[in-house]
Amino acid sequence: MSLFGITRRASLAIGISILSAVAFSGTALSQTFPDRVVTMVVPFAAGGSTDVVARVIAGKMSELLGQQVIVQNVGGGGGSLGAANVTRAEPDGYTILMGTVATHALNPLILKTKPYDAEKDFAPISLLVVVPNVLVVNPELPVKTVQELVDLLKANPDKYSYASSGNGTPLHLSGELFKKMAGVSMQHIPYKGAGPALNDVIGNQVPIMFDNLPSSSSHIKAGTLRALGVTTKDKAQSFPDLPTIAETIPGYETYTWNALFAPAGTPPEVIAKLNEAANKAMQDPAVVERMKEFSATIVGSTPEELSAHVKAEIAKWTPVVKDANVQMD
Ligand code: GLU
Protein backbone atom coordinates (compact mmCIF):
# COMPACT_ATOMS: atom_id res chain seq x y z
CA MET A 1 0.00 0.00 0.00
CA SER A 2 1.33 3.43 -0.79
CA LEU A 3 0.77 6.50 1.28
CA PHE A 4 -2.34 7.41 -0.70
CA GLY A 5 -3.91 3.98 -0.44
CA ILE A 6 -3.17 2.90 -4.01
CA THR A 7 -1.12 -0.19 -4.75
CA ARG A 8 2.12 0.12 -6.70
CA ARG A 9 0.61 -1.88 -9.53
CA ALA A 10 -2.50 0.32 -9.64
CA SER A 11 -0.46 3.49 -9.66
CA LEU A 12 1.68 2.03 -12.44
CA ALA A 13 -1.46 1.29 -14.44
CA ILE A 14 -2.74 4.82 -13.89
CA GLY A 15 0.68 6.17 -14.90
CA ILE A 16 0.67 4.14 -18.11
CA SER A 17 -2.86 5.20 -19.02
CA ILE A 18 -1.99 8.87 -18.43
CA LEU A 19 1.08 8.46 -20.62
CA SER A 20 -0.88 6.81 -23.40
CA ALA A 21 -3.59 9.46 -23.14
CA VAL A 22 -0.89 12.13 -23.58
CA ALA A 23 0.66 10.20 -26.47
CA PHE A 24 -2.76 9.68 -28.04
CA SER A 25 -3.72 13.32 -27.72
CA GLY A 26 -0.32 14.22 -29.26
CA THR A 27 -1.03 11.96 -32.24
CA ALA A 28 -4.65 13.10 -32.49
CA LEU A 29 -3.47 16.72 -32.37
CA SER A 30 -0.92 16.19 -35.10
CA GLN A 31 -3.40 14.35 -37.33
CA THR A 32 -5.85 17.23 -37.37
CA PHE A 33 -3.21 19.99 -37.15
CA PRO A 34 -3.88 22.71 -38.07
CA ASP A 35 -7.65 22.93 -37.70
CA ARG A 36 -7.67 26.60 -36.71
CA VAL A 37 -5.67 29.80 -37.14
CA VAL A 38 -1.93 29.65 -36.41
CA THR A 39 -0.41 32.79 -34.86
CA MET A 40 3.11 33.74 -35.94
CA VAL A 41 4.52 36.15 -33.35
CA VAL A 42 6.88 38.76 -34.80
CA PRO A 43 8.85 40.09 -31.82
CA PHE A 44 9.32 43.53 -33.43
CA ALA A 45 7.01 46.34 -34.58
CA ALA A 46 5.42 46.33 -38.04
CA GLY A 47 7.49 47.64 -40.96
CA GLY A 48 10.79 46.09 -39.84
CA SER A 49 12.61 43.29 -41.58
CA THR A 50 11.27 40.49 -39.36
CA ASP A 51 7.73 41.70 -40.05
CA VAL A 52 8.29 42.09 -43.79
CA VAL A 53 9.89 38.64 -44.14
CA ALA A 54 7.28 37.00 -41.85
CA ARG A 55 4.34 38.38 -43.83
CA VAL A 56 5.65 36.95 -47.11
CA ILE A 57 6.27 33.52 -45.54
CA ALA A 58 3.06 33.43 -43.48
CA GLY A 59 1.04 34.13 -46.63
CA LYS A 60 2.50 31.11 -48.42
CA MET A 61 2.33 28.87 -45.33
CA SER A 62 -1.40 29.68 -45.01
CA GLU A 63 -1.98 28.25 -48.49
CA LEU A 64 0.14 25.18 -47.82
CA LEU A 65 -1.39 24.40 -44.41
CA GLY A 66 -4.96 25.17 -45.50
CA GLN A 67 -5.35 27.43 -42.44
CA GLN A 68 -4.61 31.07 -41.95
CA VAL A 69 -1.22 31.92 -40.44
CA ILE A 70 -1.63 35.39 -38.98
CA VAL A 71 1.21 37.70 -37.94
CA GLN A 72 1.06 39.24 -34.48
CA ASN A 73 3.57 42.02 -33.71
CA VAL A 74 4.82 42.04 -30.11
CA GLY A 75 7.70 44.54 -30.09
CA GLY A 76 9.91 45.51 -27.15
CA GLY A 77 13.00 44.45 -25.27
CA GLY A 78 14.97 43.90 -28.49
CA GLY A 79 12.67 41.00 -29.41
CA SER A 80 12.79 39.35 -25.99
CA LEU A 81 9.21 40.31 -25.05
CA GLY A 82 7.56 38.54 -27.99
CA ALA A 83 9.92 35.57 -27.72
CA ALA A 84 9.14 35.17 -24.01
CA ASN A 85 5.39 35.25 -24.81
CA VAL A 86 5.83 32.29 -27.15
CA THR A 87 7.63 30.24 -24.48
CA ARG A 88 4.53 30.68 -22.29
CA ALA A 89 2.05 29.68 -25.03
CA GLU A 90 0.42 26.24 -25.26
CA PRO A 91 2.96 23.92 -26.98
CA ASP A 92 0.49 22.82 -29.65
CA GLY A 93 1.87 24.49 -32.81
CA TYR A 94 -0.82 27.19 -32.90
CA THR A 95 1.59 29.84 -31.58
CA ILE A 96 5.00 30.05 -33.25
CA LEU A 97 7.78 32.64 -33.25
CA MET A 98 9.59 34.31 -36.12
CA GLY A 99 12.88 34.33 -34.25
CA THR A 100 16.05 36.11 -35.25
CA VAL A 101 19.71 36.29 -34.29
CA ALA A 102 18.46 38.83 -31.72
CA THR A 103 16.04 36.53 -29.87
CA HIS A 104 18.21 33.40 -30.06
CA ALA A 105 21.81 34.56 -29.81
CA LEU A 106 22.27 38.26 -29.04
CA ASN A 107 19.51 39.03 -26.47
CA PRO A 108 20.76 36.26 -24.18
CA LEU A 109 24.33 37.57 -24.50
CA ILE A 110 23.61 41.30 -24.28
CA LEU A 111 20.61 41.63 -21.94
CA LYS A 112 21.35 41.06 -18.27
CA THR A 113 17.72 40.07 -17.59
CA LYS A 114 17.07 36.81 -19.41
CA PRO A 115 13.36 36.04 -19.62
CA TYR A 116 13.89 32.64 -21.32
CA ASP A 117 16.49 30.08 -22.29
CA ALA A 118 17.03 30.37 -26.06
CA GLU A 119 17.89 26.68 -26.38
CA LYS A 120 15.78 24.87 -23.77
CA ASP A 121 12.51 26.82 -24.00
CA PHE A 122 11.95 26.39 -27.75
CA ALA A 123 11.37 23.60 -30.25
CA PRO A 124 13.20 24.65 -33.44
CA ILE A 125 11.24 24.40 -36.72
CA SER A 126 13.38 25.75 -39.60
CA LEU A 127 16.12 28.27 -40.39
CA LEU A 128 14.58 30.33 -43.20
CA VAL A 129 16.84 33.17 -44.37
CA VAL A 130 20.06 35.00 -43.65
CA VAL A 131 19.92 38.76 -44.35
CA PRO A 132 22.57 41.48 -44.54
CA ASN A 133 22.36 44.59 -42.42
CA VAL A 134 23.05 48.01 -43.87
CA LEU A 135 24.34 51.36 -42.65
CA VAL A 136 21.93 54.07 -43.77
CA VAL A 137 21.77 57.82 -43.14
CA ASN A 138 19.24 60.55 -43.73
CA PRO A 139 20.18 62.13 -47.10
CA GLU A 140 20.63 65.51 -45.37
CA LEU A 141 23.67 64.18 -43.49
CA PRO A 142 26.67 65.44 -45.50
CA VAL A 143 28.35 62.05 -45.98
CA LYS A 144 28.40 59.72 -48.97
CA THR A 145 30.81 57.01 -47.81
CA VAL A 146 31.68 55.04 -44.68
CA GLN A 147 34.99 56.93 -44.44
CA GLU A 148 33.20 60.30 -44.61
CA LEU A 149 30.90 59.21 -41.78
CA VAL A 150 33.88 58.08 -39.70
CA ASP A 151 35.55 61.47 -40.30
CA LEU A 152 32.38 63.37 -39.37
CA LEU A 153 31.94 61.36 -36.16
CA LYS A 154 35.62 61.78 -35.24
CA ALA A 155 35.36 65.53 -35.67
CA ASN A 156 32.18 65.64 -33.56
CA PRO A 157 32.47 63.21 -30.62
CA ASP A 158 29.06 62.18 -29.22
CA LYS A 159 27.22 64.78 -31.28
CA TYR A 160 25.32 62.29 -33.46
CA SER A 161 23.02 59.41 -32.58
CA TYR A 162 22.01 56.22 -34.35
CA ALA A 163 18.72 54.32 -34.26
CA SER A 164 18.27 50.57 -33.89
CA SER A 165 15.51 48.01 -33.46
CA GLY A 166 16.26 47.74 -29.73
CA ASN A 167 18.84 46.75 -27.15
CA GLY A 168 20.33 43.34 -27.78
CA THR A 169 19.62 43.26 -31.51
CA PRO A 170 22.08 42.83 -34.39
CA LEU A 171 21.41 46.45 -35.32
CA HIS A 172 22.47 47.58 -31.85
CA LEU A 173 25.53 45.31 -32.06
CA SER A 174 26.27 46.68 -35.56
CA GLY A 175 26.40 50.21 -34.14
CA GLU A 176 28.48 49.33 -31.09
CA LEU A 177 30.91 47.27 -33.17
CA PHE A 178 31.20 50.16 -35.64
CA LYS A 179 31.98 52.61 -32.80
CA LYS A 180 34.57 50.28 -31.30
CA MET A 181 36.28 49.31 -34.56
CA ALA A 182 36.27 52.81 -36.10
CA GLY A 183 37.17 54.53 -32.82
CA VAL A 184 34.17 56.88 -32.93
CA SER A 185 31.39 57.77 -30.50
CA MET A 186 27.66 58.29 -31.05
CA GLN A 187 24.57 57.77 -28.94
CA HIS A 188 22.35 54.69 -29.32
CA ILE A 189 18.58 55.20 -29.59
CA PRO A 190 16.68 51.89 -29.31
CA TYR A 191 13.16 51.44 -30.73
CA LYS A 192 10.61 48.59 -30.60
CA GLY A 193 11.67 47.47 -34.04
CA ALA A 194 13.25 48.74 -37.22
CA GLY A 195 9.86 50.03 -38.49
CA PRO A 196 9.47 52.93 -36.01
CA ALA A 197 13.25 53.53 -36.06
CA LEU A 198 13.17 53.93 -39.85
CA ASN A 199 10.33 56.47 -39.61
CA ASP A 200 12.49 58.67 -37.40
CA VAL A 201 15.57 58.37 -39.63
CA ILE A 202 13.52 59.22 -42.73
CA GLY A 203 12.02 62.16 -40.77
CA ASN A 204 15.59 63.17 -39.73
CA GLN A 205 14.90 63.02 -35.99
CA VAL A 206 17.84 60.60 -35.86
CA PRO A 207 20.40 60.88 -38.69
CA ILE A 208 22.01 57.42 -38.72
CA MET A 209 20.76 53.83 -38.53
CA PHE A 210 21.91 50.27 -38.89
CA ASP A 211 18.99 48.37 -40.43
CA ASN A 212 18.29 44.96 -41.90
CA LEU A 213 18.46 45.31 -45.67
CA PRO A 214 14.93 43.90 -46.37
CA SER A 215 13.24 46.81 -44.54
CA SER A 216 15.55 49.51 -45.94
CA SER A 217 15.72 48.38 -49.60
CA SER A 218 12.67 50.28 -50.86
CA HIS A 219 13.72 53.47 -49.02
CA ILE A 220 17.26 53.26 -50.44
CA LYS A 221 15.83 52.79 -53.95
CA ALA A 222 13.42 55.71 -53.43
CA GLY A 223 16.23 57.95 -52.19
CA THR A 224 14.60 58.64 -48.81
CA LEU A 225 17.60 56.94 -47.19
CA ARG A 226 21.24 56.95 -48.31
CA ALA A 227 23.04 53.63 -47.92
CA LEU A 228 26.75 53.79 -47.08
CA GLY A 229 27.65 50.11 -46.78
CA VAL A 230 26.50 46.58 -46.02
CA THR A 231 27.58 44.80 -42.86
CA THR A 232 28.27 41.44 -44.48
CA LYS A 233 31.63 40.17 -45.78
CA ASP A 234 30.23 40.07 -49.31
CA LYS A 235 28.24 42.67 -51.20
CA ALA A 236 24.44 42.32 -51.37
CA GLN A 237 23.12 40.89 -54.66
CA SER A 238 20.39 43.50 -54.97
CA PHE A 239 22.83 46.42 -54.42
CA PRO A 240 25.98 45.41 -56.34
CA ASP A 241 27.38 48.97 -56.24
CA LEU A 242 27.08 49.30 -52.47
CA PRO A 243 30.46 48.68 -50.77
CA THR A 244 30.88 46.55 -47.66
CA ILE A 245 31.71 48.35 -44.41
CA ALA A 246 34.65 45.92 -44.14
CA GLU A 247 36.28 47.65 -47.15
CA THR A 248 36.80 50.65 -44.82
CA ILE A 249 36.88 48.84 -41.46
CA PRO A 250 38.60 45.48 -42.10
CA GLY A 251 37.07 42.50 -40.29
CA TYR A 252 33.75 44.24 -39.63
CA GLU A 253 30.82 41.82 -39.97
CA THR A 254 27.26 41.45 -38.72
CA TYR A 255 24.14 39.90 -40.22
CA THR A 256 20.70 38.72 -39.22
CA TRP A 257 18.76 35.54 -39.77
CA ASN A 258 15.15 34.54 -39.39
CA ALA A 259 13.99 31.16 -38.16
CA LEU A 260 10.75 29.64 -36.90
CA PHE A 261 10.44 28.24 -33.38
CA ALA A 262 7.59 26.71 -31.37
CA PRO A 263 7.41 26.46 -27.58
CA ALA A 264 9.39 23.52 -26.11
CA GLY A 265 7.18 20.46 -25.77
CA THR A 266 5.36 20.90 -29.08
CA PRO A 267 4.71 17.37 -30.49
CA PRO A 268 7.34 16.34 -33.08
CA GLU A 269 4.59 15.46 -35.60
CA VAL A 270 3.30 19.04 -35.42
CA ILE A 271 6.85 20.41 -35.76
CA ALA A 272 7.28 18.17 -38.84
CA LYS A 273 4.14 19.64 -40.45
CA LEU A 274 5.26 23.22 -39.77
CA ASN A 275 8.77 22.41 -40.99
CA GLU A 276 7.46 20.97 -44.24
CA ALA A 277 5.20 23.98 -44.89
CA ALA A 278 7.96 26.48 -44.03
CA ASN A 279 10.56 24.78 -46.24
CA LYS A 280 8.08 24.43 -49.12
CA ALA A 281 7.11 28.09 -48.77
CA MET A 282 10.77 29.02 -49.16
CA GLN A 283 10.87 27.26 -52.55
CA ASP A 284 7.81 29.01 -53.94
CA PRO A 285 8.88 31.13 -56.96
CA ALA A 286 7.06 34.26 -55.72
CA VAL A 287 8.67 33.93 -52.28
CA VAL A 288 12.08 33.31 -53.91
CA GLU A 289 11.61 36.49 -55.97
CA ARG A 290 10.70 38.61 -52.90
CA MET A 291 13.68 37.27 -50.93
CA LYS A 292 15.93 38.13 -53.88
CA GLU A 293 14.66 41.72 -53.82
CA PHE A 294 15.50 41.78 -50.09
CA SER A 295 19.00 40.27 -50.70
CA ALA A 296 17.92 37.56 -48.27
CA THR A 297 19.65 34.21 -48.76
CA ILE A 298 17.17 31.35 -48.52
CA VAL A 299 18.33 28.51 -46.30
CA GLY A 300 15.55 26.10 -45.20
CA SER A 301 16.60 23.44 -42.68
CA THR A 302 15.63 20.56 -40.45
CA PRO A 303 14.78 21.28 -36.81
CA GLU A 304 18.07 19.61 -35.83
CA GLU A 305 20.06 21.86 -38.18
CA LEU A 306 18.38 24.93 -36.67
CA SER A 307 19.21 23.70 -33.19
CA ALA A 308 22.89 23.31 -34.20
CA HIS A 309 22.79 26.75 -35.86
CA VAL A 310 21.56 28.43 -32.66
CA LYS A 311 24.38 26.79 -30.68
CA ALA A 312 26.97 27.84 -33.26
CA GLU A 313 25.67 31.43 -33.38
CA ILE A 314 25.79 31.79 -29.58
CA ALA A 315 29.40 30.55 -29.69
CA LYS A 316 30.26 32.91 -32.57
CA TRP A 317 28.83 36.08 -31.03
CA THR A 318 29.93 35.51 -27.41
CA PRO A 319 33.48 36.92 -27.87
CA VAL A 320 32.26 39.71 -30.19
CA VAL A 321 29.69 40.94 -27.63
CA LYS A 322 32.30 40.70 -24.89
CA ASP A 323 34.89 42.66 -26.90
CA ALA A 324 32.41 45.33 -27.93
CA ASN A 325 31.34 45.65 -24.27
CA VAL A 326 27.61 45.80 -25.04
CA GLN A 327 25.99 44.48 -21.85
CA MET A 328 22.63 46.12 -21.04
CA ASP A 329 20.31 46.05 -18.00
N1 GLU B 1 16.97 43.89 -35.62
C2 GLU B 1 16.13 42.78 -35.56
C3 GLU B 1 16.86 41.58 -36.01
O4 GLU B 1 17.55 41.62 -37.00
C5 GLU B 1 14.90 42.93 -36.40
C6 GLU B 1 14.39 44.30 -36.49
C7 GLU B 1 12.97 44.38 -36.95
O8 GLU B 1 12.51 43.46 -37.62
O9 GLU B 1 12.31 45.36 -36.62
O10 GLU B 1 16.83 40.57 -35.35
pLDDT tens sequence across 54-92: 999 999 999 999 999 999 999 999 999 999 999 999 999
- Cα(144) to ligand 1 centroid in Å equals 25
Report the alpha-carbon distance of residue 118 to residue 107 in Å, rounded.
9
Q: What is the DSSP string of 97-159?
A: EEEEHIIIIIHHHHBSS--S-TTTTEEEEEEEEEEEEEEEE-TTSS--SHHHHHHHHHHSTTT
pTM above 0.85, yes or no: yes
Q: What distance, in Å, lies between the first and last C-alpha atoms of the chain?
A: 53
CATH number corresponding to 132-247: 3.40.190.10
Q: Model confidence at 27, in pLDDT bands (50, 70, 90)?
A: low
Mean pLDDT of the chain: 92
Q: Which CATH number fits domain 35-130+258-324: 1.10.3210.10, 3.30.465.10, 3.40.190.150, 3.90.1150.10?
A: 3.40.190.150
Residue 136 has pLDDT above 90, yes or no: yes
| pLDDT tens column, 198-234 | 999 999 999 999 999 999 999 999 999 999 999 999 9
**pLDDT on residue 26:** 59
Question: Is the beta carbon of 107 within 6 A of some atom in ligand 1?
Answer: no
Report the alpha-carbon distance of residue 312 to residue 44 in Å, rounded.
24
Return the best residue to mutate from 41, 42, 49, 219 for the ligand 1 pocket (most ligand atoms within 8 A of CB): 49
- Cα(169) to ligand 1 centroid in Å equals 7
Question: Is the beta carbon of 49 within 6 A of some atom in ligand 1?
Answer: yes
> Would 35-130+258-324 and 132-247 be classified into the same CATH topology?
yes
Question: How does DSSP classify residue 37?
Answer: P
In percent, the amount of the chain with pLDDT more than 90 equals: 85
